[in-house]
Amino acid sequence: MKLEAMKKDDFYRQMFKLTIPIIIQNLLSAAVNSADVIMLNYVGQSAISAVSLASNFSNVLFMVYYGLGTGATLLCAQYYGKGNLEAIHTVEGITLRFSMAISGIVALIAFFLPQKMMLLFTPDQELITIGASYLRIMGITYLCWGITEVYLAILRSVGRVTVSMALNMLAFVLNVILNATFIFGLFGMPKLGATGVAIATALSRLVELVACFIVSFLSKNVKLHPKYLFVHSKVLTQDFMRLSLPALCNDVSWSVAFSMYSVILGHLGTDAVAANSLVVVVRNIGTVFCFAIASAGGILLGNIMGRGDLEKSKSYASRMLKMTVIAGAIGGLIILAITPFVLRFATLNDTAMHYLKYMLLINTYYIMGAAVNTALIAGVFRAGGDTKFGLICDTIDMWCYAIPLGFFAAFVLKLPVLWVYFLLCTDEFVKWPWVIKHYREGKWAKNITREEV
């Protein structure tokens, strides 16, 4: 009995050690997004809508980095549990080659074809003009982001979540200050509105990249060095491709599909888009605990599986899932508590305010669905290298169920906006039977390290 209590204490001690910095990091990220929307709220509804639509490209690109980082994290976490630092640096180089190539391509498109990018989401010429100026500058952000996200993922995989949090904190705080400066024209700067948001983001990401190199220089283990780009390992490259590509395709498929929700809402009017842009910010605040537990749990389980203790990893996964359910309930209550304040301070028109109120209420329970699926698919399953299940599950759910349902409801049945939104928000719960069944089978618990590396 005492031994079991000690194991539980050890689990919770390690989880809180990893989770708390990630929660702070996620809260800061949500706070910056909230600050962007609040500041743009005083510029105008068109600015909010344009930036919200243009940000879909950043969201998709972030999921690309997240997918690449997942492959790197699950390999590095297990090799760290095994004590193989050389393998970690090799995986880092492989991941950087992919992320930098993708970032460069997207940056070129954003610089030369921003209007075409905006046309995917809205036919409104005013929103296209505002969004295009935003996207052209964001190209600089993408180039920096592709490097920092990979390095921060590697740091988290070896348990250095506090350092990762500090670097994000630097970027987030600087972003808020610069946003206020360029949006409102402080300190003698011109008032740039939505364009100012892009400039602030680009500068803060550039500073964050410089800070990563400083941390790397002072670090005794995980470095950010150009030489790793040229380190090749056929075995690790094959493992990375085998594990990362399904995770990358999963995250990109999901994020592009989720962006299609914005396409549907965008063609239902700017009121729906403006309301949804505020809802996303509030939902991000409500999900910080859930997603932090998934990230921390994935790292902890990966370390344990890398040491070969698969039964212990299953026991820890069960406790992690219970924590996630509690966090999901808390997240729903947080959204419920925030709703009156959002409705009080939002400066949208009456129709958009009506949409906003009921969209927020729908998200009080939607968080639970997202929390459980994220914890299992992106946390537990991926920790053991099981990335294919999430790809198949999410792709079928989003592209064969949610998106066709949304388009059918909006453009064939011509249902009201809130009914369309409600139907779109059933996507997470449809997956539950298959996700929970896969979890209970326990085949995801695997040691994916190699002795010859």
Token code pair at residue 176: 């808020």
Q: Is 99 helix (H, G, I), strand (E, B) or coil?
A: helix
Kindly report the average pLDDT of the chain as a whole number. Answer: 85
Which amino acid appears at position 176 of this protein? V
Q: What pLDDT is attached to residue 93?
A: 92
Please give the angle made by the CA atoms of 248, 319 and 242, to the nearest 5 degrees.
Answer: 20
- What residues have CB less than 8 Å from 18, skipping those under 6 apart? 159, 161, 295, 296, 299, 300
Q: What pLDDT is attached to residue 380?
A: 93
In the chain, domain spans: 2-441
- What residues have CB less than 8 Å from 366, skipping those under 6 apart? 283, 425, 428
Q: What is the pTM of this model?
A: 0.75
Closest CA to 447 of 253, 311, 321, 252: 311
Indicate the DSSP class of residue 309: -
Closest CA to 232 of 96, 381, 123, 422: 96
| Low-confidence residues of the chain: pLDDT under 70 | 1-9, 29-38, 40-42, 452-453
Closest CA to 375 of 1, 15, 9, 103: 15
CB 233 within 8 A of CB 95: no
Which amino acid appears at position 350 of this protein? D
Q: What pLDDT is attached to residue 307?
A: 86
Q: What pLDDT is attached to residue 6?
A: 38
Alpha helix (H) residue ranges in 83-124: 85-112, 114-119
